Chain A
């Protein structure tokens, strides 16, 4: 749980780095202006320019998450006898190292494309931490497997597809965030269209999922809470998406006759702008993680053949990893 709670702020700060276009605020890697990452003078960091502050902060937080992942690996090997859980912990360590190298390569090659991939793989690692959180929770290990039914299959399918669509939506959003300077306006327009289309698809899936859980699994409190939370997050995300457009590009023209729209002046990199845009990105990661969490929970609860405490069972590992 500590790992998930520290990774989510890392997602926020990473998103803030893109919001302020601060990815190249420190031109070297893994050092920071020639200093070892951990020994860069903190006074210079704190008192320095804002983009340097968040980029170096992102690196420090990333290193911290890496250390916690190592600790998670050690604890898993020592305390958890489930073989697949140990493999998963090892996989997470490899994933966090790869994510760090990807971020560093983005700096070394000054590549927006690598920044885009870094922005897409970050939420995957965060989702892994949330899944690990679910699988190592005492509640989960104590829970009894339920009855497999067609409603259970539907739940699994809905949650899996919501997660897949949410990830595709993240990829589309990353394309809008990391748009290359010479991208044509036609390409950008098509990307926005698919981003809006996918938003509708994810929202529809999320609401269908919440309704399905409410109807068939009302007594499964963890499922019900997660499904309701997902629907709520999706509604909030839609509002944040609209707000992101307004704080970046002003109100649409069809509202120009209204005083509030005509008089609104966008302020570049203002606090509301950076908070709204960053929250929109961070919430996307949370939606993906919640959908995957629901999928894993539904697998665990509704597969009669599954026994989460069995160290040799590989079915769950096959789905999760």
Chain B
């Protein structure tokens, strides 16, 4: 009796084990670039047209024809569009493709080795591990990057991307890749830009297709390459691509003036504090009166707003639409969390120059606004002065201060 029971259980677990092994990973074919179907749905929710399966496949094929595949990426062969120093095909091919070494011993597949599990094969920030991570990994396809030295929503420089790769981001899952040599880092930066450019063009083509296509019309009908509409669409692709490339090449680093002579003094800190709590800057609105990051915490970042608030979908109320997005691969919307300034941990870097860029230009894609129009350069330095003292005052170390003696500095 006992033996037959044990045998039955053993058989059950054996079958279960085999089923688990067979349930995933069997497919060894090349991982494709999948279309940004979340954005397709967002355009539908916005009131533009709904793209059917054939139209979506046509768009995906068009993008693959322009940019190649994850294993063999290509640079768009479109007359008049080049990528000066922006994306180098040789470097792309080191970063792309499966992990391994070629016959000459050169390491390949750096993106899949180091990045893909979080950032995904298309750079959508929704790789296998993404749902566990907070904040979610960056979605490159918008071309928006948070920690950079350039103005507002301008694209980051090569150094900005490289710096994040080397330093990582404290308190998040983004690691430091200081083990990689300069050539490998360079290849990864090129590949990230490639995915960013590809993703941005994809978004623009989806917008156009959702807006213009009739019921059965394809965006680029390869059976009719000589037609007027075909030529028109090729011209459109060329224009959009050129505009995207320009946005990357024409980006400018924000110059950082030297701090004022009284920087570091009590007067400077007091001025910074005044600005921090003023209605002009509204710093305390989000970071809180205590600067613990407990002010307004119900806002969303731009990556989330693209398919929610901007297309009239409320993440808290339109739950059925949110579930539809999630079925298409979107990550559940999360609120953007303002930084707790009393910890002295700044994700984009802790150097004063990093804080200057954050305050002066804001943090692209997040509710953190630019203060460039409200504050003078000296006042920005004063705010930095105040912010940098916060981790050291009494409220930041409450265990050492009796509750009735705590006060906001």
Which positions in A face B, CB cutoff 8 Å? 21, 23-27, 33, 48-49, 51-52, 109-113, 116-117, 120, 153, 157, 160-161, 164, 167-168, 171-172, 175, 178-189, 191-192, 248-251, 253, 256-257, 259, 261-270
Q: Whole-angstrom distance from the CB of B79 to the nearest CB of chain A? A: 33
B8 contacts partner chain A, Cβ-Cβ < 8 Å: no
Contact of B107 among A49, A157, A181 (CB under 8 A): A49
Q: A262 touching B171 by the CB < 8 A rule?
A: yes
B280 interface residue per 8 A CB criterion = no
Assembly CA distance A120 to B179 (angstroms): 29
Asked whether B26 lies within 8 Å of A249 as measured between CB atoms, the reply is: no
* Most A-side CB within 10 Å, residue of B25, B121, B169: B25
The minimal Cβ–Cβ distance linking A9 to chain B, given in whole angstroms, is 24
Given the known interface contacts A180-B25, A262-B340, A269-B179, the answer about A24 and B103 at a Cβ–Cβ threshold of 8 Å is: no
Residues on B lying within 8 angstroms of A by beta carbon are: 2, 6, 9-10, 13, 16-17, 20-21, 24-28, 31-32, 34, 98-103, 105, 107, 109, 112-114, 116-117, 121, 126-134, 167-179, 329, 331, 340, 343, 345
Contact B101 A264 (CB under 8 A): no
**B114 A262 Cβ-Cβ under 8 A:** no
Residues of A near B130 (CB, < 8 A) are 185
List the 8 closest pairs (A to B, CB-CB), nearest first: A24-B100, A266-B175, A188-B128, A182-B31, A268-B175, A253-B134, A113-B25, A185-B131
Q: Which residues of A contact B173 (CB under 8 A)?
A: 248-250, 266
Judging by beta carbons under 8 Å apart, are A160 and B6 in contact? Answer: yes
Q: Which residues of A contact B31 (CB under 8 A)?
A: 180-182
Q: A51-B107, A164-B10 are in contact. Are A183 and B128 (CB under 8 A)?
A: yes
Docked-complex contact A180 and B24, CB < 8 angstroms:
yes
Compute how far the CA of A157 lies from the CA of B10 in the bound complex, rounded to whole angstroms: 11
Inter-subunit contact B340/A24 (CB<8 Å): no
- Does B168 contact A184, Cβ atoms closer than 8 Å? no
Q: List 14 A-B contacts (CB under 8 A).
A: A21-B113, A25-B101, A164-B10, A167-B17, A168-B16, A171-B20, A181-B127, A182-B31, A249-B129, A249-B132, A250-B171, A259-B345, A263-B345, A268-B176
Q: Does B175 contact A267, Cβ atoms closer than 8 Å?
A: yes
CB pair B129–A188 under 8 Å, yes or no, is yes
CA distance A249 to B171 in the complex (A): 9
Tell me, rounded to whole Å, the shortest Cβ–Cβ distance linking B138 to chain A: 15
Bound form: Cα–Cα A188–B118 in Å: 11
State whether B132 touches A265 (Cβ < 8 A).
no
- Complex interface: chain B residues within 8 A of A187 (CB): 24, 128
Contact of B100 among A110, A157, A256, A264 (CB under 8 A): A110
**Residues on the B chain within 8 Å of A111, using CB:** 28
Cα distance A160–B9 in the bound complex, in angstroms: 10
Of chain A, the residue at the smallest CB distance from B112 is: A181
CA distance A167 to B105 in the complex (A): 36
Closest Cβ–Cβ distance, residue B397 to chain A (whole Å): 10
Return B329 CB to nearest CB of chain A, in Å: 7
How far, in Å, is B164 (CB) from chain A's closest CB? 11
- A123 to B: closest C-beta gap in Å: 12
Q: Which of A168, A186, A188, A261 contacts B13 (CB 8 A)?
A: A168
Given contacts A52-B105, A253-B134, contact A259 B343 (CB under 8 A): yes
With A178-B25, A262-B340 known as contacts, the answer to whether A268 contacts B114 (CB < 8 A) is: yes
The contact of B131 among A160, A186, A251, by CB within 8 Å, is A186
Q: How far is the CB of A298 from chain B (nearest CB, A)?
A: 13
Task: Provide the residues of chain A in CB contact with B28, threshold 8 Å.
Answer: 109-113
